[in-house]
Amino acid sequence: MSTDHHAGLEDIEVLKSGICEIRQDKLSFRGYNITDLAENACFEETAFLLWNDSLPSEQELRDFKTALRAEYHLPREITEHINHVPREAHPMAVLRTLISSLGLYDPESADNSAPALRRRSIRLLAKIPLLVAAIARHRNARSHVEANPELDIAANFLQCLYGEDPDTETARLLDTALVLYAEHELNASTFTARVTAATRADTYSCIVAAVSALQGSLHGGANQKALEMLLTIGSPENAEAYLLPRLKKKEIIMGFGHRVYKKGDPRVPVLKRMCAQLADKTGQKQIVETAARAEEIMLREKKLYPNVDFYAGLAFYLLGLGADLFTCVFALSRTAGYLAHIAEQYEENKLIRPRAVYTGKKDLPFVPLAAR
Amino acid sequence: MSTDHHAGLEDIEVLKSGICEIRQDKLSFRGYNITDLAENACFEETAFLLWNDSLPSEQELRDFKTALRAEYHLPREITEHINHVPREAHPMAVLRTLISSLGLYDPESADNSAPALRRRSIRLLAKIPLLVAAIARHRNARSHVEANPELDIAANFLQCLYGEDPDTETARLLDTALVLYAEHELNASTFTARVTAATRADTYSCIVAAVSALQGSLHGGANQKALEMLLTIGSPENAEAYLLPRLKKKEIIMGFGHRVYKKGDPRVPVLKRMCAQLADKTGQKQIVETAARAEEIMLREKKLYPNVDFYAGLAFYLLGLGADLFTCVFALSRTAGYLAHIAEQYEENKLIRPRAVYTGKKDLPFVPLAAR
């Protein structure tokens, strides 16, 4: 073996997949362009597409929504457990714990067959948004709100979060954000889900592992960090004074650049339009202008484009979500993609086990404790 | 990109590491041969070596043990939570949940700096065995046993599990098994820990992700499956009748073969001696003879050697542990290795994000719901 290793597995193809195509800075799910999906399909439709390799008919979508809504409830033990969680714990750490806990109440959790996986997928896609809303309410010392089985996932999430029915436009914008975040090939957390599935671990283990990896600031945690940066900058005039010294010190600026997209993230244009719309609606124009100024400076100085996390963070903020909740919203959406990848991995499996280049000491004689 | 992908990342070197060397079917930790360590070093010494790149002096080992023993207690919320866990849930799923929960009670969980990571590593290495023992006792409807800070990790684990001080020989044999299981380069769960650490996720997330991946029957779950198979076979005379038809049907026989070792697992000889010793002590010779016969048949029929899980499962059984607990014992040992790899990953980090070969449909025109 050489010392010429594949750092970060950059551009290394590890498996075949029919779920998500990234080609010349274009993104599609099962052959459908992301912009078409964001503009025309709801989150449930997108999840159905990811799991079935075709868009649902009207009847199929109705049945799918009915199955999801039938899972709009949490085990009593979990809602009670949430009340005992320390309020200061990060919502992603709590979500990781509660998804894991959810697995303890699923009697068929060890069954990885396709029909059991399908039931479990519906359960997880329906229940994770309820967990996120319940975590957020507990964190703010508010009482638990029951789900409304008349509502779609995005609208119901807002209802569980705020305790009142959301307006149609807000729900639709969140729904669009969920479509954009639903899937993205072998990003670090989806890859984690597949490495876990490849050991034949149960599905809860796979989702827990994925959500664990999503938490990091170089991955899902980036949307929170990017928004916090925008709030710190505060106004367009401050953007240069904030960014230039940091760029000089080679600090990473959250929300810019992407391992895969070199000429801009195809999810950004839809999100930018959404942010402009929300700024009009809420009157919060200054932060949107600050984002635009930061974008200009980063392109001029570093030829780096904003990524999905930069404008998704801003969109979530304008939708009224707390910054500490952003990554959880990313998680509830990406669960759709994780589950498509887990199904694919279970179906045609090979253990994922790379090697390391050994750079340490060699062939040392053992010295007994007393002689050290 | 080609369709010639690196399936399972077999032989693909993804990073540099100074922790574990596997060379020509030899295994060493930080330069020290595994057989030397298993025969001469205790588990605490091995963990110190993995984390510090040198064996401890007598004083260093004393200080290290003192620091570990100071962490021999669980948050009250966790011991209370265990009492509410469904008894039928798999111990690995419960362990995954409780390690995640442990992170909620660590006020410095978000601090990935080296000194904070060191404190957290000691905490996790000390507390995970307590969790495993508590889970096992709850599963068997027995009350919680407090740790004994006079004992080393292996002996204290047995004390917490059975509620009485173990005999010296049993504790020493378990300790040896923990040394053998402590580390093994980029196996699937350690790789999962590093993919997670590479997003800059917190340490609890990394360990939770690793333990999630360890659960699978192609990885840590194999020791339980292998022992269950030996119990099913029952006696040496039945081994052919059990194995041959299954080999003909190309079923995977748990506990044989290894992605990395093609000519035998270097951890097996020590474990085999341990099993012989335990069989002498306990009088359970039949299962050891059954294992030897299965080994002969697998070598003759498939040229496959037994791996660590085959004889570790048998050793754990002879030590009196329940089969459903084996993977948890693997986890409490491998935590030493995970934490060494997490430290290395935080220190010199690059996001681990491979690609997939896209094999699905392309460029489909979007069809509105009403027209499908």
Strand partners, A22: A27
Predicted TM-score (pTM) of the model is 0.96
pLDDT tens-place values along chain A, 372 residues long: 445 689 999 989 999 999 999 998 899 999 999 999 999 999 999 999 999 999 999 999 999 999 999 999 999 999 999 999 999 999 999 999 999 999 999 999 999 999 999 999 999 999 999 999 999 999 999 999 999 999 999 999 999 999 999 999 999 999 999 999 999 999 999 999 999 999 999 999 999 999 999 999 888 888 999 999 999 999 999 999 999 999 999 998 999 988 888 888 999 999 999 999 999 999 999 999 999 999 999 999 999 999 999 999 999 999 999 999 999 999 999 999 999 999 999 999 999 999 999 999 999 999 999 999
Task: Note whether A362 contacts B: Cβ–Cβ < 8 A.
Answer: yes
Q: Residues B84-95: what's their mean pLDDT? A: 96
| CA torsion through residues B179, B185, B189, B195, sign | positive
| Local structure of B20: helix, strand or coil | strand
In this prediction the ipTM stands at 0.95
pLDDT in tens, B169-217: 999 999 999 999 999 999 999 999 999 999 999 999 999 999 999 999 8
Closest CA to A356 of B21, B89, B135: B21
Q: Is the distance from CB of B342 to CB of B206 less than 8 angstroms?
A: yes
Q: How far is A236 from chain B (nearest CA, A)?
A: 29
Closest residue in chain B to residue A359, using alpha carbons only: B18
Q: Active-site residue A6, yes or no?
A: no
Neighbours of B118 (CB within 10 A): 15
Among B18, B37, B84, select the one facing A359 at the smallest CB separation. Answer: B18
Q: Is the distance from CB of B25 to CB of B261 less than 8 angstroms?
A: yes
CB contact under 8 A, A15 and B185: no
Q: What angle do CA B196, A184, B217 make, to 5 degrees?
A: 50
CB contact under 8 A, A200 and B221: yes
Q: Percentage helix, strand, coil, to 5, in chain B? A: 60, 5, 35
Among A13, A110, A215, select the one facing B357 at the smallest CB separation. Answer: A13
Residue B52's pLDDT band (boundaries 50, 70, 90)?
very high
Q: How far is A283 from chain B (nearest CA, A)?
A: 33
pLDDT of residue B232 exceeding 50: yes
Distance of CA B196 to the CA centre of its chain: 17
CB contact under 8 A, A188 and B351: yes
Residue with the two structure tokens 């599609």:
A28
pLDDT in tens, A227-277: 999 999 999 999 999 999 999 999 989 999 888 888 889 999 999 999 999
Task: Say which amino acid occupies A326.
Answer: F
Q: How far apart are CA A120 and CA A103, in angstroms?
A: 10
Q: Is the distance from CB of A191 to CB of B352 less than 8 angstroms?
A: yes
Task: Say which amino acid occupies B64.
Answer: F
CB contact under 8 A, B55 and A209: no
CB contact under 8 A, B206 and A212: yes
CB contact under 8 A, A89 and B104: yes
Mean pLDDT (chain B) is 95
Query: Percent of chain B at pLDDT above 70?
Result: 99
Distance of CA B363 to the CA centre of its chain: 45
Q: How far apart are CA B29 and CA B41, in angstroms?
A: 12
Q: Is the distance from CB of A247 to CB of A253 less than 8 angstroms?
A: yes
Q: How far is B359 from chain A (nearest CA, A)?
A: 5
User: What are the strands of the beta sheet with A32-33, ordered from one edge?
Assistant: A20-23, A26-29, A32-33
Closest residue in chain B to residue A77, using alpha carbons only: B84
Residue A56 per-residue DSSP state: P
Name chain B contacts of A89, Cβ cutoff 8 Å.
103-104
Among A3, A100, A109, select the one facing B100 at the smallest CB separation. Answer: A100
| Local structure of A280: helix, strand or coil | helix
Closest CA to A312 of A300, A330, A294: A330
Q: What angle do CA B252, B255, B260 make, to 5 degrees?
A: 90
Name chain A contacts of B362, Cβ cutoff 8 Å.
21, 28, 31
pLDDT of residue B3 exceeding 60: no
Residue with the two structure tokens 């050290």:
A372
b/e per residue, A83-118, with b = 16+ CB within 10 A?
eebeeebbbbbbbbbbbbbbbbebeebbebeeebbe
Output the pLDDT for position A359.
Answer: 96
Residue B166 per-residue DSSP state: P
Closest residue in chain A to residue B349, using alpha carbons only: A8
Of A258, A265, A280, A363, the catalytic one is A258
CB contact under 8 A, A195 and B200: no
Of B106, B138, B152, B258, the catalytic one is B258
CB contact under 8 A, A5 and B20: no
Name chain B contacts of A370, Cβ cutoff 8 Å.
58
Q: What tokens appear for B139 in the block?
A: 């599963």
CB contact under 8 A, B100 and A96: yes
Residue B167 per-residue DSSP state: P
Closest CA to B98 of B119, B72, B121, B78: B78
b/e per residue, B233-272, with b = 16+ CB within 10 A?
beebeebeebbeeebeeeeebbbbbbbbbeeebbbbebbb
Among A6, A90, A195, select the one facing B195 at the smallest CB separation. Answer: A195
CB contact under 8 A, B212 and A220: no
Task: Note whether B351 contacts A: Cβ–Cβ < 8 A.
Answer: yes
B14: part of which helix (H) or strand (E)? strand B13-17
CB contact under 8 A, B198 and A217: no
Number of A/B CB contacts below 8 angstroms equals: 396
Task: Note whether A110 contacts B: Cβ–Cβ < 8 A.
Answer: yes
Distances (CA, A) of A207 to A8, A96, A331, B310: 22, 9, 10, 28
Distance of CA A165 to the CA centre of its chain: 24
Output the pLDDT for position A263.
Answer: 85
Residue with the two structure tokens 């996720």:
B201
pLDDT of residue B48 exceeding 60: yes
Q: How far apart are CA A212 and CA A90, in angstroms?
A: 12
Residue with the two structure tokens 């940066």:
A229
Q: What phi and psi, each to the nearest 5 degrees, are found at residue B90?
A: -65, 135
Residue with the two structure tokens 């050991």:
A199
Residue B1's pLDDT band (boundaries 50, 70, 90)?
very low
Q: Is the distance from CB of B128 to CB of B331 less than 8 angstroms?
A: yes
CA dihedral A222, A223, A228, A232 (to 10 degrees): 90
CB contact under 8 A, B7 and A15: yes
Of B309, B324, B341, B363, the catalytic one is B309
| Local structure of B71: helix, strand or coil | coil
Task: Note whether B358 contacts A: Cβ–Cβ < 8 A.
Answer: yes
Q: Active-site residue B258, yes or no?
A: yes
B319: part of which helix (H) or strand (E)? none
Q: Is the distance from CB of B44 to CB of B68 less than 8 angstroms?
A: yes
pLDDT of residue B2 exceeding 70: no
Among A90, A92, A353, select the one facing B259 at the smallest CB separation. Answer: A353
Number of H helices, E strands in chain B: 16, 5
Of A309, A324, A341, A363, the catalytic one is A309
Name chain A contacts of B30, Cβ cutoff 8 Å.
360-361, 364
b/e per residue, A307-346, with b = 16+ CB within 10 A?
bbbbbbbbbbbbbebebebbbbbbbbbbbbbbbbbbbbbb
Output the pLDDT for position A105.
Answer: 97
Among A31, A85, A259, select the one facing B361 at the smallest CB separation. Answer: A31
pLDDT of residue B243 exceeding 80: yes
Q: Is the distance from CB of B360 to CB of A53 less than 8 angstroms?
A: yes
Among A37, A88, A369, select the one facing B61 at the smallest CB separation. Answer: A369
pLDDT of residue B22 exceeding 60: yes
Q: Is the distance from CB of A178 to CB of A334 less than 8 angstroms?
A: no
Q: Is the distance from CB of B307 to CB of B257 less than 8 angstroms?
A: yes
pLDDT in tens, B254-275: 999 888 888 889 999 999 999 9
CB contact under 8 A, B360 and A31: yes
| Local structure of B276: helix, strand or coil | helix
Distance of CA A34 to the CA centre of its chain: 16
Q: How far is B162 from chain A (nearest CA, A)?
A: 24
Query: Percent of chain A at pLDDT above 90?
Result: 93
Residue with the two structure tokens 């399936």:
B7
pLDDT of residue B290 exceeding 90: yes
Q: How far apart are CA B73 and CA A160, in angstroms?
A: 37
